[in-house]
Amino acid sequence: MVSKPPGTSRGSNPNSLSTPDVAVVGAGPIGLAIAWRCAARGLRVVVHDPDPGSGAANAAAGMLAPVAEAYFGEHELTGLLTESAARWPAFAAELAAAAGTDVGYRSEGTLMVGLTTDDLAVARRLWAYQQGLGLPVTPLRPSELRDREPALSPRLRGGAYAGTDHQVDPRRLISALRTATERAGGVLVPTPVQRLTEVTAGTTVVAAGCGSAALTGLPVRPVKGQVLRLRAPEAPGFQHVIRGFADGEQVYLVPRPDGEVVVGATSEERTDTMVTSGAVLRLLRAATDLVPEVAEYELVEALAGLRPGSPDNAPILGPLPGRPAVLAATGHHRHGIVLTPVTADLIADLIVTGTPDPLLAPFTPERLGPVAAAAGSPAPAHGSAAARLNPQEESWS
């Protein structure tokens, strides 16, 4: 795909970037991670986005949850989630060294809980499926849950521990990826891209969240999610990520050492980004049912964003049909943060070698049928370089 071998000098002439080896459209975590990996291999890279990091990663909770996010009928996606989660410790360490800053990676694990008997029955069915896939799910009695996290409600009927489900701080991640990309020689171009014909490069990577649909014709749809940020007076009274069912409402709580707790998230087939009082009420009620002390935390922020969903909820990775120099890296839905390392590695390897990794096979655009519109068709005039429908629409979880 790129004839220039890794390690070739970029040169000192600014005009050498007039025709870069790789152009990435979209500076969310996926786009920046691909740009960093490519630039670190010596390729000339530009990233198009007028406001890097202003999208969905700014709202994301940052759960790295290959176990808790393993759902019925998504076997191949679960395999990709597991593979990417396994890459996260080394990825986080390498990125922290390259950027000179911590990305908030934490490995305490996740507690999955059920508040009522009905909640627990639903959860146990899912846990049984996850265990059947060989995923590490350890059932826990209510007393064992509270031994691990005394802040949990005494009303909980039971739960399970997923030790490999970790977390990262997406806002720190974006900052670190931007720094690492620029230190490796990548250039961020703060201009919008309305159509792919405006981009000149050996390979173009479309990592534009929901905006990828307008740029490529791929069937990427927006899935609205509302999320809250709370702040404890000091450090939160719990360390694990808490995911659970509370009277039928699904909710998660993600604690940060600085006192922040992220609570989320709704999943709505809508295109607006309005924060609704009903969603805030449901999320807070479920969160306080599971961890009562959060009722005393400050409500700092309420956000709504749009995840880029695909028809089968799996990412779209690889060349567009008939356009081998245009690669898609989109459709990550609620898995954008956890899939960042594997997506970056697979796309960068494909660009450098021209040979697709077998891991890509289930996720190529071809599985979705003919592309509905030519890559290069007009995109909406508003938004960012990624032709975003709004500034918070890349994948997040």
Please give the pLDDT value at position 248.
94
Give 343's contacts (C-beta < 8 A, 6+ positions apart): 30, 33, 34, 84, 315, 317, 329, 332
Q: Say which range, 57-61, 146-150, 166-170, 344-348, has the weakest mean pLDDT.
A: 57-61
CA 389 to chain CA centroid, Å, is 18
- Residue 56: predicted pLDDT: 72
Q: Which of 109, 127, 69, 93 is nearest to 315 (CA)?
A: 69
| Pairwise CA distance, residues 379 & 207, whole Å | 14
Length of the chain: 397
- Which is it for the CA torsion 257, 260, 261, 265, positive or negative? negative
Is the pLDDT assigned to residue 201 strictly greater than 90?
yes
Give me the phi and psi of 231, to 5 degrees please. Answer: -140, 125
Q: If we measure between CA atoms, which residue out of 191, 258, 202 comes closest to residue 231?
A: 258
Q: Answer yes or no: is pLDDT of 34 > 70.
A: yes
Cβ density class 318-353: b for 16+ within 10 Å, e for less: bbbbebeebbbbbbbbbbbbbbbbbbbbbbbbbbbe
pLDDT of 311 over the 50 cut: yes
Residue 270 reports pLDDT greater than 80: yes
- For residue 370, what pLDDT band results from cuts at 50, 70 and 90? confident
Q: Quick check: 227 pLDDT over 80?
A: yes
Judge whether residue 395 has pLDDT over 50. no
How far apart CA 227 and CA 345 sit, in angstroms, is: 29
Residues 6+ apart with CB under 8 A from 48: 23, 24, 25, 26, 27, 189, 191, 192, 193, 199, 385, 386
- Whole-number Å distance between alpha carbons of 306 and 221: 9
pLDDT value for 59: 80
Question: Does residue 125 have a pLDDT over 60?
Answer: yes
Both tokens of residue 321? Answer: 């049909």
Band the pLDDT of 58: cuts 50, 70, 90.
confident
Quote the CA–CA distance of 359 and 373 in Å, as a whole number.
26
pLDDT in tens, 325-361: 999 999 999 999 999 999 999 999 999 999 999 999 9
CA atoms within 13 A on the CB side of 164: 20
Selection from 261, 246, 212 nearest residue 62 by Cα? 261
Sign of CA dihedral 95, 329, 251, 160: negative
Q: Which element (helix H / strand E) includes 253?
A: strand 249-255
Q: What is the dihedral of CA 102, 107, 111, 112, to 10 degrees?
A: 80
Angle between helices 75-99 and 340-353 (to 10 degrees): 80
How large is the average pLDDT for residues 83-90? 98
Residue 357: per-residue pLDDT: 98
Torsion angle of C-alpha atoms 349, 353, 354, 355, degrees rounded to 10: -70
Mean pLDDT of the chain: 89
Cite the residue boundaries of each domain of the chain with CATH code 3.30.9.10: 110-162+222-307
CATH 3.30.9.10 fits 110-162+222-307, yes or no: yes
Across the chain, which distance is largest between two alpha carbons, in Å?
67
Is the per-residue pLDDT at 85 higher than 60? Answer: yes
- Cβ atoms 297, 231 nearer than 8 A: yes
What's the CATH number for 1-106+165-220+310-397?
3.50.50.60
Q: Residue 314: is its pLDDT beyond 70?
A: yes
Residue-level pLDDT at 51: 84
pLDDT of 264 above 80: yes
Instruction: For CATH 3.50.50.60, list the domain ranges present in the chain.
Output: 1-106+165-220+310-397
Q: What's the mean pLDDT in 226-250?
A: 96
Nearest to 308 by CA among 339, 279, 283: 339
Mean pLDDT across 251-279: 95
- Residue matched to tokens 């450090």: 235
pLDDT-based confidence at residue 57 (cuts at 50, 70, 90):
confident
**Phi and psi based region of residue 259 (left: phi greater than 0; alpha: psi -120 to 50; beta: remaining):** left
What pLDDT sits at residue 371? Answer: 65
C-alpha closest to that of 339 among 25, 108, 63, 90: 63
